[in-house]
Structure 1
């Protein structure tokens, strides 16, 4: 069984995948970490030195590589992964267990405001422009996120509550 978690940055994909992996006794792969290990660079360094197009090509390549392992895993995607290179269709070739961790703009901002330097997409966006930027991005990406089999709202929920909801949806 492959379980895929997707959603915008700071939606909780990494934290939820780790706890879900423990709860279901399944290995967890964070696609961004996987890419960093394979490329021997951080995502920020890849964006800076090779550009986004290169990154998206590699992201697709490594997504396919992980999915083709055909082992039981929980896969946490980068926020943009579902939106490029027909990745959602690729994911659905391998699993129906896809979960969109839906998070409001207000909640995303509160989670990212102190770590903008670690996030290449928003590093150079001013705090006052952040709500509009995130809102526009969510609007553009929503068509891809909504292709997930399940939608889990994360606002005002603990990681434990989100994991419990996912487990319930899996049964």
Structure 2
């Protein structure tokens, strides 16, 4: 899967270390190095299709400004659109990211159930846990993290690598 994503700053990755001991009781726990904040999935099955989709995404992003993002809460998808639930996540507040997402969906189309009106900006912590595990994560207090998003990255999940980035002017 290819996507356009928001690079996560070190303080958000540090939240993973803070939450890690609370994630016992989940079958699947995301590692900090694998954490992502997806702005838009790209409809591409291979590199050739990716190049086309990336060109379209870059055109849609032309002129998009930098924006603020904030993690201040934990959310839960009881029945996620894809994969087993419940899924616990760091909730991302960012009107700027939501504008970028809508812009990309308008130009490239959306994935039913997870994009467009169903889009919830988030960073997955873990999935498929029992009720006690979910409550333990939800009840954890932490200091909010706010940052400026000044670039978006194009990411290849199959190979776990950043392909390229697009700068967002201040």
Q: TM-score range with shorter-chain normalisation?
A: under 0.3
TM-score (norm 2): 0.27
Which structure's residues are more often strand, by fraction?
2
Q: Which of the two has greater helix per residue? A: 1
